[in-house]
Structure 1
């Protein structure tokens, strides 16, 4: 019997859905809680396939990650708990994730998404560079900026008026600004709430800032944790909504697709946006453009040839002739109620493990990537 261990937050629906898929596929499963692993508890041992799930949506785990990332032990004080929705310590949490993943890997299990892949996908600057070097279409990006003044200077030098400003670490549109700048005006559309004391919070309400002082305050608050700035890529739309895709690639094959539609530049579904119809998008794009977009998702997966699955955020361009990858997510396979051949993402992943597709694809993709000099550092 195939034996699988999952490291996650046991109360989270991700772990529950993985457990259901494992049971249905006849896969033996053991669950390790992130909080226990970060406190030095047991990790999966040799002979186990190891799935690492998102450490998010758990306040205690967030504190533990930031403590590790700031050089404290998990028993130290040193790091305060974030208030609900507060954007704080993104870089420290990423460093803590690196430490936690290293602990998991030290147990000798076979990581279904290896440490290097997870960390690369979680660093927007590093991931963008890897994709660009591998010939995957991505938006142009500015050189590193360290605050509002250097961002303004970078925009002037590039001659750009519209960009997306993204924290280098983070997900779910946390801290993202759709920024428009002219000689006389500045505006930003974002889900970030700027509190009176200068702290930043994630909000479920998308808002617009037209004050340069407020936009500068948000950017300067985010900058110490690292920023990634991409040129605005005009997205295709249907009706009065723009759209992009979340494509989950499993064992090298694009399988599950969600269309995310919005009346704002931010398409994340948790912001009150709506799912669109895949068939309608395929029809609007046409078969050639759709095939090209899915081939790009395959090329993204080939950049991470040891990862069972990757979540690709793919932007289809206005006019449907172009596309570009916005982000890649190591934990991007949570697509409730999206079925292909009767399977959700987790059931498809279990099937790929059990029937050997994952091992065959990983061996083929790794060999091809090594030949082409595109194997990402692990």
Structure 2
């Protein structure tokens, strides 16, 4: 999958978003009644600095090292969704954070809180095989954090979860295309990527590092396992999700009984993002009623095809609205859940 060949229009738009002060995430919001209670808000100073984190032990919170550099423990607080609020006793950066040529390879840190987290702490995965397997099997993976959410204009520091639909693995990171359903910015930093296990508990796979114009990065727990182990953080037992019972065709792909799409047909693109330009003008809802996607090939839960613009519709948002753009409208990839399952009239 090539995430690097994006249009200049896309780059210009992303430059605008990168210039905004508050953090951002966009895509399918998940209901808060399903949210993990151990994904916590971190006030990094007395002036509104915001990061996110994950409870790992009863008194240790995992976050990003860049959230902790030049910070003063006495000026920080941690607030978790279960209502507990903690003062900070100590902050611990990864020992190689300032030494490695590429800091994203060591951008993880720990916060030692005063007091104890009182709720059950679900598993966190530190073994490579488990991380790879749960990404394939879990019915839901998501980033839960406290950045700014473009879709509903949620303020920086409000809790939200955004569903994951696409990813790529390196030996150190889970890489998410910004054209998938997640975009990560400040405020989301230090937050976690979680997947549901067989018991519907959110287990942590990694730590939000940040993003460039094209992709977002999650530092995998298995890559920094030695650092976590040195503070007594080891993988706990959990129930791996079972193999999906999704109906498959003879080639092992989801059948059209599960995804009612046909090759050669055109479907409306289902809107899910609202993008706001510097003049506070919104794009992304009504405009997409004029956008169709002609499906040429279906592979698993993705379709490859051609984008069709009907009438006059702004296209600046299309390359980051569930579509992997390559600078043109042909041979694009889109998640099937981004398409309306009724053929276009």
- Verify same fold: TM over 0.5: no
Q: Which structure carries more strand by proportion? A: 2
Q: Which structure carries more helix by proportion? A: 1
Structure number with greater CO (CA < 8 Å, separation at least 6) is 2
Normalising by structure 2, report the TM-score: 0.28
